[in-house]
A = this chain, B = another copy of it.
């Protein structure tokens, strides 16, 4: 009986093969999806494909990190740090640039950011020195920081990082806060884990503040 053979995509063009290989290196893109993307690009106008290719190359060359908050930036300072409308005295400490984008998309925050580049995780070999904690401390010394909002993922590593920075910056003039933990909107009480439910009962809110 006919045996199943392994899927070996043989392509009639080496360039096509090379392009599919490059695309399938991207996270979450398999060989079949890569082929679909490449065949799509082949059907596009030459100038559109040129633009796509150019932007990838330029992006890698020109994008840098903001020297103040370590967000991704085109210049030495990012657009958020340069924006005079944003409050410099509130700093939101996040793990990575994706968190900045997530918070920005809520349109609820008007302060500045500080991207740590990770969280303290001894098991993964990440100590405070690998993160941008030193620059945060020197930044706070020069700016008149009033509040530091920790927006880290609620994990042991995140909590350790909060604890470490809190200890380091032991300044009574600064208010230290963290984003609220609790039951997600749309979540169900009976399926929530005990830790979350416990914290959300302990940190219960007055209804008047909630419905504002």
A residues engaging B (CB < 8 A)? 1, 5, 7-16, 18-19, 22, 25-29, 33, 35-42, 44, 46, 49-63, 66, 71-74, 78-80, 97-98, 100-101, 104-107, 210-212
Contacts and interface: CB of A to CB of B under 8 A. Distances in A.
20 contacts: A1-B211, A10-B101, A10-B105, A12-B71, A12-B79, A13-B74, A13-B78, A13-B79, A16-B59, A16-B72, A19-B56, A26-B40, A27-B37, A28-B33, A35-B98, A42-B60, A49-B60, A50-B57, A53-B54, A54-B57
A15 B57 contact: no
Nearest to A14: B74
A59 B15 contact: yes
Contacts of A63: 13, 15-16, 42
Given A59-B42, A105-B8, A106-B5, A26 B37 contact: yes
Contacts of A44: 60
A56 B52 contact: yes
A104 B19 CA distance: 19
B53 A15 contact: no
Contacts of A12: 66, 71-73, 78-80, 97, 100
Contact of A9 (B53, B54, B101): B101
A73 B13 contact: yes
B57 A8 contact: no
Contacts of A28: 33, 36
Contacts of A79: 12-13
Contacts of A106: 5
Contacts of A97: 12, 39
A55 B22 contact: yes
A42 B42 CA distance: 24
Contacts of A73: 12-13
Given A12-B66, A15-B62, 7 more contacts: A12-B97, A15-B59, A18-B59, A26-B40, A29-B37, A42-B63, A49-B56
A76 to B, nearest CB: 12
